[in-house]
Amino acid sequence: MPSTGWMWIETSIESFILSPDLINSVFPVPTQAYLKISLAQQRLFLIENSQVLFECPVSTGKNGAGEIYGSGCTPRGWLVIKAKIGADCPENSVFIGRRATGEIYNPQLQAQFPERDWILSRILWLGGLEPGKNRYGAVDTLRRFIYLHGTPDAVPLGVANSKGCIRLHNAELIHLFEQVTVGTRVFIGK
């Protein structure tokens, strides 16, 4: 057991699934399910009662891990889903400023706007839970507009290449969107 007092459970995905009892005592919310995003593995895990219910590859910040506003890094630590956006939108719907544009992503649209950071299908907007680390001031995750969001399916996942958000392929994001609620905790770490 690490000296920080965290309880670790050894499973098929090794030592980063935290005890649900410990999680609830530190960050109590109505559900025991939480997301774990591994920066080293570039994978997302939906975990409930120490069981992996869903997993998929992701892409996190190209600039690595970090919390400072404007860094292009993916924040670490405990976060929470603050908003779910796009529930009734078609797959590949394009979002700008958290609003659906009415466009549906396709190769022609990509060619027309080659510099866009494509935010597609759904948005799970994250807020920090750790004051001074990922909440408030220059490290506030919510104000940094850090999301889990869809990306074009041709974009490779499993490598850090985003501007700080967590990118998923669209079908996997839509599936995950239906499995989580506002208030679901998210842990981002190694």
Q: Where does the pLDDT of residue 91 fall: very low under 50, low under 70, confident under 90, or very high at 90 and above? A: very high
Closest to 95 (Cα-Cα) out of 123, 70, 69, 68? 123
123, part of any domain: yes
121, part of any domain: yes
1, part of any domain: no
The 8-class DSSP code of residue 187 comes to E
52, part of any domain: yes
Residues 6+ apart with CB under 8 A from 81: 124, 125, 126, 180, 181, 182, 183, 184, 185, 186
Domain count, the chain: 1
> Has residue 162 got a pLDDT over 80?
yes
53, part of any domain: yes
CATH code for the domain of 69 = 2.40.440.10
> Has residue 176 got a pLDDT over 50?
yes
pLDDT score, position 22: 54
> Has residue 103 got a pLDDT over 60?
yes
Q: What is the pLDDT of residues 2-31, one digit of tens each?
A: 333 333 333 344 444 555 555 555 555 445
Pairing of strands 166-169, 147-151: parallel
100 forms beta bridges with: 95
> What whole-number distance in Å separates Cα of residue 2 and Cα of residue 71?
30
Residues 6+ apart with CB under 8 A from 56: 43, 44, 157, 168, 169, 172, 176
2, part of any domain: no
> Has residue 110 got a pLDDT over 80?
yes
Q: Which domain holds residue 37?
A: 8-189
Mean pLDDT of 86-109: 97
Its pTM stands at 0.84
> DSSP letters along 5-59, please?
---EEEETTEEEEEPHHHHHHHS--S---EEEEETTTTEEEEEETTEEEEEEE-B
128 forms beta bridges with: 79
> Has residue 114 got a pLDDT over 60?
yes
138, part of any domain: yes
Q: Which of these ranges, 12-16, 51-55, 87-91, 153-157, has the smallest mean pLDDT?
A: 12-16
pLDDT score, position 27: 53
pLDDT score, position 32: 82
> What whole-number distance in Å separates Cα of residue 57 and Cα of residue 41?
8
150, part of any domain: yes
